[in-house]
């Protein structure tokens, strides 16, 4: 198996390939390798939006070879938090990288004009993108599809105007309806004058023992499609959580002022499936098809003239632009999601920023002059649409502050106690208890997906777990996800890829590992990420938890700040920090 890293220098217009066996031997692939490349490539203290800040993409040894191992990891310095930026996307990118023969791609420097990168195997071209600069992220995908070769084995990733204008939580659209959503990779692309990257390849992938490989493949495929471990994702999808979390008092509503939403049923996964769903799609090499696409039909002229827009949705998007903004009209919610898609913005951050702005407006921290007359009110879809336009356009200081993220905006205008970010990242849609809060603080990318603290809360609500037990569960997830993210599998398939099955799958392609090897790897990867974080100024003892987290009931009742403090102390002690 080739372990090749493709280096591209945008400033010098050069590219070359290096075989980095030692890197993949020691760090397996995916996030393990990407973290090392980031430590190598990123100068300490660099401005995340300067040419010196690198972008790394990495896949793992199982990508393309086994079902639901579909993701690519991006590592960068986040312009939103100023430390580790890490984001995952599905779609076809991992497949295209594998067929092009590159397990990792490093992008250095900045282009002197709007550009895009076109890669076919080892052939790399930096092409002019002046004519598509300013074009929205959806349309530019259609254009590049027409002008670039490689259809079927190709991936197109691109930014929209939010990335070009350096909105700190701009994301990247990957193929159809997938994203590097979190932590501002879109702005890093924009800062490099990089509109898109198109990659395709013609290589084959060989396995050392086809018989053994086929046996393990069939077993894993069978678990994915013939058992119920992934049923939820194919059926209603993650949006089934809207009704569930609403009943459990865990659904953030109106900027976390409440955790149950009277309009939840209207925007539930069940209603969207019945009234709007028209298609489900899959990432390449996934038999599940969890990507739910709604059809949004809107009238744009009299005489019954309509346009149809296709909008993908899942739980996080519905929380962020739905319950968190008091939006109960499903069509209005889909309009807001679609606006973020066109601009190329992280929906979660956008929803949290708008939630804070609405409450700040209610409390007169912000004036109508500052909003330019836009009524920031719960459930006011037209107002939110205009606000999204202005966040990207930045016509005044207020909207430019919103484009910096909720922590920066609240530092300027007040209302820090209800600015719902942890460690600088706008929070996910789970107000379930202390493990969710602690999990997002300690997680390497301050996301709910680092260690799934929300799920530990839900277990604790049933089994009365002690703070030590919840903390141990967070550490276990932190480390084991480091291994899984080195493969780089879809986290929805965690039930398929048990440790035993991971060892089998690696063995089937000639990589022999034991459970001890994987435990050690997970722990080392976690510590390496913290090495980068600390190097860039992250100090866990300085993280402030906004008061709102302690003012609103959760699935586990009211959270005592003392419990969070205790868990953080236990966490530091267990890690030996
Ligand atoms: S389960 Fe969904 S997100 Fe995961 S790989 Fe399959 S289609 Fe993609």
Domain ranges of the chain: 4-200, 228-409, 425-575
Can 4-200 and 425-575 be said to share one CATH topology? no
pLDDT tens, position by position, 434-456: 999 999 999 999 999 999 999 99
How many of the other CB atoms lie within 10 Å of CB of 334? Answer: 26
Q: Is 70 in the pocket of ligand 1 (CB under 6 A)?
A: yes
Q: Is 89 in the pocket of ligand 1 (CB under 6 A)?
A: no
Q: What does the pLDDT average to over 492-504?
A: 96
pLDDT tens, position by position, 162-189: 999 999 999 999 998 999 999 999 999 9
- Among protein residues, the one with the nearest Cα to ligand 1's atom 4 is 490
Global pTM? 0.97
Q: Report the pLDDT value the prediction gives residue 1, as an integer from 0 to 100.
A: 61
User: What is the distance in A from the centroid of ligand 1 to the CA of 236?
Assistant: 13
pLDDT tens, position by position, 55-82: 999 999 999 999 999 999 999 999 999 9
- Cα 203 to the center of its chain, rounded Å: 29
Q: Report the pLDDT value the prediction gives residue 304, as an integer from 0 to 100.
A: 86
Closest CA to 485 of 456, 455, 521, 539: 521
Confidence grade of residue 2 (pLDDT, cut at 50, 70, 90): low
Q: Is 294 in the pocket of ligand 1 (CB under 6 A)?
A: no
To which CATH superfamily is domain 4-200 assigned? Aldehyde ferredoxin oxidoreductase, N-terminal domain (3.60.9.10)
Q: Structure tokens of 58?
A: 């990495």
Among 50-54, 228-232, 383-387, the range scoring the smallest mean pLDDT is: 228-232
Q: Is 488 in the pocket of ligand 1 (CB under 6 A)?
A: no
Q: Which CATH architecture is the domain 425-575 placed in?
A: Orthogonal Bundle (1.10)
**Above 90 in pLDDT, residue 51?**
yes
Q: Report the pLDDT value the prediction gives residue 151, as an integer from 0 to 100.
A: 86
- Cα 153 to the center of its chain, rounded Å: 23
pLDDT tens, position by position, 338-378: 999 999 999 999 999 999 999 999 999 999 999 999 999 99
Q: Facing residues of 89 across strands?
A: 72
Average pLDDT for the chain: 96
Q: Report the pLDDT value the prediction gives residue 527, as an integer from 0 to 100.
A: 97
Phi, psi of 230 (to 5 degrees): -115, 10
Alpha helices per DSSP H over 18-157: 21-27, 30-41, 93-100, 137-147
Q: Are 538 and 83 in contact (CB under 8 A)?
A: yes
Class for the domain spanning 228-409: mainly alpha
pLDDT tens, position by position, 259-315: 999 999 999 999 999 999 999 999 999 999 999 999 999 888 888 889 999 999 999
């Amino acid at each position: 198996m080739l372990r090749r890293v493709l280096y591209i220098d945008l400033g010098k217009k050069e590219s070359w390939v290096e075989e980095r066996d030692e890197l993949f031997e020691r760090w397996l692939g995916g996030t393990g390798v990407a973290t090392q490349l980031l430590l190598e490539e990123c100068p300490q203290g660099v401005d995340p939006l300067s040419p010196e800040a690198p972008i790394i993409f990495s896949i793992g040894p199982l990508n393309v070879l086994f079902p639901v191992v579909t993701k690519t990891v991006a590592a960068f310095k986040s312009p939103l938090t100023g430390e580790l930026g890490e984001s995952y996307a599905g779609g076809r990118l991992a497949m295209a990288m594998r067929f092009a023969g590159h397990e990792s791609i490093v992008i250095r420097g900045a282009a002197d004009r709007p550009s895009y990168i076109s890669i076919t195997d080892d052939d790399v071209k930096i092409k002019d993108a002046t004519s598509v600069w300013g074009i929205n992220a959806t349309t530019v995908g259609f254009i590049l599809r027409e002008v670039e070769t490689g259809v079927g084995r190709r991936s197109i990733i691109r930014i929209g105007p939010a990335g070009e204008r350096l909105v700190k939580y701009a994301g990247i659209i990957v193929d159809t309806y997938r994203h590097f959503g979190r932590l501002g990779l879109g702005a890093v692309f924009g800062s490099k004058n990089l509109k898109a990257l198109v990659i395709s390849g013609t290589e084959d992938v060989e396995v050392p023992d086809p018989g053994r490989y086929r046996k393990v493949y069939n077993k894993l495929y069978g678990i994915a499609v013939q058992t119920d471990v992934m049923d939820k994702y194919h059926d209603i999808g993650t949006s089934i959580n809207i009704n569930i979390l609403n009943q459990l008092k865990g659904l953030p509503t109106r900027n976390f002022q409440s955790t149950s939403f009277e309009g939840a049923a209207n925007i539930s996964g069940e209603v969207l499936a019945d009234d709007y769903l028209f298609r489900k799609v899959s990432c390449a090499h996934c038999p599940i098809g969890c990507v739910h696409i709604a059809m949004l039909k809107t009238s744009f002229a009299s005489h019954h003239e309509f346009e149809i827009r296709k909008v993908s949705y899942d739980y996080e998007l519905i929380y962020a632009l739905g319950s968190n903004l008091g939006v109960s009209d499903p069509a209005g919610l889909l309009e807001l999601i679609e606006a973020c898609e066109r601009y190329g913005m992280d929906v979660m951050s956008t929803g949290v920023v708008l939630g804070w702005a609405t409450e700040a407006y209610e409390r007169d921290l912000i004036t109508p002059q500052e909003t330019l007359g836009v009524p920031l009110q719960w459930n006011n879809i037209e107002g939110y649409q205009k606000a999204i336009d202005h966040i990207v356009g930045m016509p005044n200081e207020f909207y430019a502050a919103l484009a910096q993220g909720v922590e920066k905006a609240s530092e300027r205008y007040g209302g820090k106690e209800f600015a719902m970010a942890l460690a600088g990242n706008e929070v996910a849609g789970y107000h379930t208890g202390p493990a969710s809060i602690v999990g997002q603080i300690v997680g390497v990318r301050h996301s709910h997906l680092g260690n799934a603290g929300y799920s530990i809360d839900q277990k604790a609500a049933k089994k009365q777990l002690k703070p030590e037990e919840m903390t141990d569960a967070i550490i276990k997830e932190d480390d084991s996800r480091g291994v899984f993210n080195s493969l780089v599998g879809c986290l929805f398939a965690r039930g398929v890829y048990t440790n035993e099955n991971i060892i089998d799958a690696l063995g089937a392609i000639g990589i022999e590992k034991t459970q001890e090897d994987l435990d050690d790897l997970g722990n080392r990867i976690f510590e390496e990420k913290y090495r980068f974080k600390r190097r860039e100024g992250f100090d866990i003892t300085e993280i402030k938890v906004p008061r709102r987290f302690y003012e609103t009931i959760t699935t586990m009742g009211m959270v005592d700040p003392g419990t969070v403090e205790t868990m953080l102390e236990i966490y530091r002690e267990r890690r030996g920090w």
